[in-house]
Amino acid sequence: MTDKDVKIYIIGAGVSGLAAAITLKNAGYNAQILEHSPTVGGRVKTTKNGSMKLDHGFQVLLDEYPAAKEFLNLESLNLVKFSPASIVFIDGNKHIIGDAQRDMSFAWNTLIAGVGIVSDKWKVFMLSRKLKQKNLTDIFNDSEKTTLKYLQDYGFSQKMIDCFFKPFYTGIFLETELQTSSRMFEFVFKMFSIGNATIPGAGMEAIPNQMADKLVGQIQFNTTVKEVIADTIHLTTGETIKSDYTIIATPAETIVPNLPKSDKPWHSVQTLYFDTDDHGFDQPIIGLIAGNDCLSNNFHFLNDVFENHPKVISVSVVAKHNLTKDQLEERVRKELIEQANIKAGDLIKMMEIKKALPTFDSIQYAMSLLKLNLLKISS
């Protein structure tokens, strides 16, 4: 049997499924993707609302991710780079903390920022320097602890942890207590130290769309798999497909009979888009709300990111709560005013991504599995 004769099917046209298909294609195999929806991307979506670009959850692409370089043509994505800094709001006070190694204009503001003590800023510099020199294999072979314990052991003050690390990494890990593996923390910290947080000029959906362009004729849309038994894929239409190898790039327990259901929890996030009269920060930069008991975590202005975009503010809520949609909307409005003196207008859209990110309390490193955000391709 030659490579061309092998029948390989991939279930799911999310980023993981697309990456698997591209990898196989580069190795000489022509895999077919079965996707239940009419589009690619899975959780990586962008809704166009008139002239607005509303990503499904605030996501960024770190341009130094190994898989980003492997699977994407970064230049053609017209990436918009975020400033290597954050604006932290604490009880109505504004603090700027940035990477002075990459932009010296942030040096003084970072030094005097009331998010920690002077020694904290030095420790951030030293940690950045250390992780720049540490290779990925060593990062993922190190002993694991929680990110919180890692930061405490490194000597950061509780104020620095509460006012910077918690709000910043809550927006990345989508959990509020820094229980994510220290390996993941070191990896992400390194990526931020050597690269840029970016968003494609057309929105995050441009990423899977570009990947799909490499797989013309290999994606079968509007095809829902009912179950996979041995070498047979059963569709909901009653049709069956014979497959020599099947890669399941979607929750396998939903389509593989007798497979134990995974009890691995997922992190969720809610993103609220408001129109606003606020002109923004005049640069792509992330705002963090570090006030006690605030539900709002991070925000940014879309008009700072996308050229000629209407004035829109995107706010992410990660913390668990029992508020209704209307109650959450009003809570976020109140927090924006009290913490950052920003007035939100009408709610444009609220999105809830229930399975936004798997937990990373313990992770291993494998280059073939490091696909943009370490999502696993299960087979």
Per residue in 122-160, pLDDT (tens digit) is 999 999 999 999 999 999 999 999 999 999 999 999 999
Q: Say if pTM beats, i.e. exceeds, 0.75.
A: yes
pLDDT at 263 over 80: no
Per-residue pLDDT reduced to its tens digit, 173-193: 999 999 999 999 999 999 999
Asked if the model's pLDDT at residue 220 lies above 60, the reply is: yes
Q: Are residues 315 and 234 in the same domain?
A: no
Tell me if 367 is assigned to some domain: no
Q: What is the pLDDT of residue 365?
A: 59
CA distance 195 to 68: 12
Residue 35 forms part of a structural domain: yes
**CA–CA distance, 40 with 61 (Å, rounded to integer):** 17
Whether pLDDT at 371 is above 50: no
- Output the domain CATH number for residue 347: 3.90.660.50
pLDDT tens per residue across span 13-22 = 999 999 999 9
pLDDT at 267 over 60: yes
What is the average per-residue pLDDT within 155-174? 97
pLDDT bracket for residue 2 (50, 70, 90): low
User: Which pLDDT value is given to residue 252?
Assistant: 87
Say whether both 173 and 210 belong to one domain: no
pLDDT: is 243 or 263 the higher one?
243
Structural domain that includes position 23: 3-42+206-261
The mean of the pLDDT values for the chain is 92
Does position 372 have pLDDT exceeding 80, yes or no?
A: no
| Residues 192 and 99 occupy one common structural domain | yes
**33, part of any domain:** yes
Pair (184, 291) in one structural domain:
yes
- Chain centroid to Cα 44, Å, comes to 9
What pLDDT score was predicted for residue 214? 97
Task: Give residue 3's pLDDT.
Answer: 55
Is 192 found in the same domain as 272? yes
Q: Is 113 a domain residue?
A: yes
Domain-embedded: residue 247: yes
Question: Taking residues 261-288, what's their average pLDDT?
Answer: 92
Band (251; pLDDT cuts 50, 70, 90): confident
Q: Which long-range contacts (CB under 8 A, 24 or more apart) does 369-372 make?
A: 370/65, 370/66, 370/67, 371/15, 371/16, 371/19, 371/67, 371/71, 372/15, 372/19, 372/61, 372/65, 372/67, 372/68, 372/71, 372/207
* Interstrand relation of 32-34 and 8-11 (parallel, antiparallel or unpaired): parallel
Same domain, 224 and 100: no
Indicate whether 364 belongs to any domain: no
Claim to verify: residue 271 and residue 349 sit in the same structural domain: yes
Whether 52 is covered by a domain: the verdict is no
pLDDT digits (tens, 9 = 90+) for 332-358: 999 999 999 999 999 999 999 998 988
Are residues 170 and 240 part of one domain? no
pLDDT digits 0-9 by tens, 42-66: 999 999 999 999 999 999 999 999 9
Q: For position 210, which CATH number holds?
A: 3.50.50.60
Same-domain check for residues 146 and 177: yes
Counted domains in the chain: 2
Q: What angle do CA 126, 129, 131 make, to 5 degrees?
A: 110
CA dist., res. 111 & res. 97, Å (int): 8
User: Can you tell me the distance from the alpha carbon of 272 to that of 316, in angstroms, rounded to the nearest whole number?
Assistant: 6
| 227-236: pLDDT as tens digits | 999 999 999 9
- At 370, the pLDDT band (50, 70, 90 cuts) reads very low
Q: According to the model, what pLDDT value does residue 360 have?
A: 77
Q: CB-side exposure of 325: number of CA atoms within 13 Å?
A: 9
